Amino acid sequence: MSLVGSLTVVVARAWVPVSMFLEQPDRSPRGRIGPLLLGLLALLGCEDAPIARAGAPRGEWPVHAAGPGGTRYSALAEIVPANVDRLERVWEFHTGDRYEPSIGRRNHAFQATPILVGDALYFCTPRSRVFALDAETGALRWQFDPDVDLSLGNYNLNCRGVASWEDPSAEPGVPCRRRIFVATADTRLIALDAETGTLCSGFGRGGEVEFFHDVGLRSRDEYGISSPPVLVGNVVVVGSSVAESRRVDLPSGKVHAFDARSGEGRWTFDPIPRDPSDPARSSWEGEAADRTGAANVWSLSSVDPERDLVFVPTSSPSPDFYGGERLGDNRHADSVVALRGSTGELVWSFQTVRHDLWDYDIGSQPVLADLPQEGAPRPAVFQATKMGHLFILDRETGEPLIPVDDKPTPASDVPGERAAASQPIPRWPPPLSPQRLLPEDAWGLTFWDRGACAERIAAMRSEGVFTPPSFEGSVLYPGTAGGSNWGSVAIDPERKILVANTSNIANTIRLARRDEPSELREDLDELSRFEMGGTPYVGYFGVLLSPWGIPCNAPPWGALTALDLEHREVLWQVPLGTTSDLAPFGIGVPWGTPNMGGAIVTAGGVVFIGAAMDSRLRAFDVRSGEELWSGRLPAGGQATPMTYRVREGGRQYVVIAAGGHTQMRTRLGDSLVAFALP
């Protein structure tokens, strides 16, 4: 790799990128933290450009991902490549909800994306507190604290956003005509009056409903909520987070739906087919479907209001790394599932991983947009995956719009296990992340650490993206955080460009017999042990690192990719993030970092994204991938930004949550930050 500027090598113990096991809150990071080994100095020049604002229209952002279909696209065009370098911080709001060591080692992350309703921003914090701010000044209008019980289910203290609904039958000015819904970490769905922040007393019991009673909990720390509810008509739909790999019979991953006005339950959908007459039941051998848990929807769902469809991305069934107690393909786990919004009826399901043994659940929101085709565009679902695949499906039937091949995959050599003989692989686009790591691919700063990495890879099974877990240890590449994660993809419908951010780090997984003594192996940089109760084995999870603690796979360790959907081409791919907040003296190398959060794209031709580990919000040219600007954040920006204009002729704002992520070990804080042109 060619580096511009001064390159300094410091031989020292290196940084362990903890994001390799993100979104898996049971895991206890034991990684070595220290200085990275490289630095880069570079200068960028820019030119001033005029700002066009007079008469510009309002710009909405009414749901978490801009629209119900999750495109993360804004029609605003005040900020363009020629002037984006003039962005300045215009306000910063502190929530007061900061990480406290006294709450233990739980995942604490400020990943919310606000929504704009009228002239107010609404968002939630890791402890599910809800705030309403003046969208132009950042001034507080109200706040609501649900008093989340930290002794209960909040193994994952994270609230990615809230939802809004207006009661079409209520008279203007009536309390709770406009409602803000928040799904809390301790599994309550709460309805608040948008004007005052007070509870909507007619909803459920005094403004809230609980729904953890019918999912089979043994302990409340097994179950929580991390993503916002979605509205389809007058129905509120909520998923859940389920603790991973503790045991076979974890809580059910049921999706719950409630009447938005009364809170009365409308329907539930269990991704695991419990009914013997369900056609999907045949993909679960024996009675496995009766005793297996999870397959829950912890990430973001999408809605097609015109078709009365809600699209839910399901996770892996329990436990993650051994499937001998749930043999078969395990439909509808690891699937994008289309449900009738009004009734919960299954319309179609497409499985992206059969018999998941890698925690390759669907973390990315299904994104609804048109796929350009000869004749007329086709309404599609774009489903990114942790493996780096992008499936493009017909929105009404779930059939692939771009062919998917069934390719053979390696067999398991673990007694009792039977890996799927093949997996679905889309013909286009090519994988957005590397998928194979052989000894000759080992990377290092010197011949010595590169050789050590090659030896580690050679000692394990490493046969591509679907290498099954093994007793000697197996390489998971991409790792369990992605590829793509919950940040999903952004789509520019005018330019027909899709933008995706990915993490590119290798994990390791090793199984051991439960009745034999075993422990974490430091030589494999194993971080945590999974009990996998009800199976003959325990699992050990780690990161594939050199003796210096540097990833054994070549950079970029995080990337941003753009696809031309019309011409079926990879438009560009660039590293995302630098080592400036990880290396000594703040020096940074543009090798990318693991990232969490997503991108947005605007009609002005600008892609905005935080996500990386160097506490910056960045702007890229959507056509070329050139980095145009970066703004320093007060803490890690592991969230998806949003943009809006409150009134005609007003300023276009770009806002991002900057509170960091405990497991990524980014700088922690409690800020919501707004940028705008002068």
Instruction: Indicate the domain borders of the chain.
Output: 1-105+486-506+544-678, 211-483+509-533
Q: What is the pLDDT of residues 309-349, one digit of tens each?
A: 999 999 999 999 999 999 999 999 999 999 999 999 999 99
HSE, CB side, 13 Å, CA atoms: give it for residue 4.
4
Catalytic residue among 26, 221, 359, 581: 359
Query: Residue 35 above 50 pLDDT?
Result: no
CB 352 within 8 A of CB 379: no
Digit-coded pLDDT (tens) for 210-242: 988 888 877 778 888 999 999 999 999 999 999
**Rounded CA gap, 241 and 316, in Å?**
11
CA distance 513 to 21: 23
Neighbours of 567 (CB within 10 A): 9
pLDDT reported for residue 30: 32
* Beta carbons of 42 and 143 less than 8 angstroms apart: no
Query: Containing H/E element for 400?
Result: none
- Other CB atoms closer than 10 Å to residue 6's CB: what's the count? 10
pLDDT-based confidence at 42, cuts 50/70/90?
A: very low
Q: Inform me whether the pLDDT recorded for 529 exceeds 80.
A: yes
When the candidates are 2.60.40.1730, 3.90.930.12, 3.30.70.20, 2.40.128.630, the CATH number that belongs to 1-105+486-506+544-678 is 2.40.128.630
Mind listing the pLDDT tens digit for each residue in 266-304?
A: 999 999 999 999 999 999 999 999 999 999 999 999 999
Q: Which residue has the higher pLDDT, 35 or 246?
A: 246
One DSSP character per residue, 436-485 reads ---GGG---SSHHHHHHHHHHHHTSB--STTPPPBSS-EEESSBTTBSS-
pTM of full prediction above 0.85 = yes
Please say whether the beta carbons of 381 and 395 come within 8 A.
yes
pLDDT at 107: 82
Of the candidates 61, 65, 64, 57, which has an alpha carbon nearest to the alpha carbon of residue 369? 65
**Higher pLDDT, residue 571 or 517:** 571
- What stretch of H or E contains 389? none
Q: Is the pLDDT of residue 435 over 70?
A: yes
Is pLDDT at 34 greater than 50 in this prediction? no
3-state secondary structure string across 352-364: CCCCCCCCCCCCC
Beta bridge partners of 632: 616
Q: How far apart are CA 660 and CA 668, in angstroms?
A: 4
- Which stretches of 248-326 are DSSP H helices? 288-291
| Whether 359 is catalytic | yes
- Considering the chain, what percentage of its residues have pLDDT values greater than 90? 81
**pLDDT tens-digit readout, 605-649:** 999 999 999 999 999 999 999 999 999 999 999 999 999 999 999
Q: What span, in angstroms and rounded, lies between the C-alpha atoms of 370 and 393?
A: 10
- Asked if residue 468 lies in contact with residue 412, where contact means CB atoms within 8 angstroms, the answer is yes
* 642-644 β-sheet, strand order: 88-94, 671-676, 653-658, 642-644
Token pair listed for 62: 């009414």
| Rg of the chain (C-alpha set) | 24
B/e letters for 438-469, b = 16+ CB within 10 Å, e = fewer, are ebebbbbeeeebbebbbebbeebbbbbbbbbb
Residues, the chain? 678
Quickly count helices (H) and strands (E) in the chain: 2, 44
For residue 353, give the nearest of 300, 318, 389, 393 by alpha carbon. 389
375 pLDDT tier (thresholds 50, 70, 90): confident
Evaluate whether 1-105+486-506+544-678 and 211-483+509-533 have a shared fold.
yes
> pLDDT per residue over 149-205, tens digit each?
887 654 678 999 999 999 999 999 999 999 999 999 999 999 999 999 999 999 999
Per the prediction, the chain carries an average pLDDT of 90
Q: Which CATH architecture has domain 211-483+509-533?
A: Beta Barrel (2.40)
Q: How would you write 550-561 as a 3-class SS string?
A: CECCCCCCEEEE
Compute how many other C-beta atoms are within 10 angstroms of the C-beta atom of residue 415.
Answer: 10
**Stretch 14-29: mean pLDDT:** 36
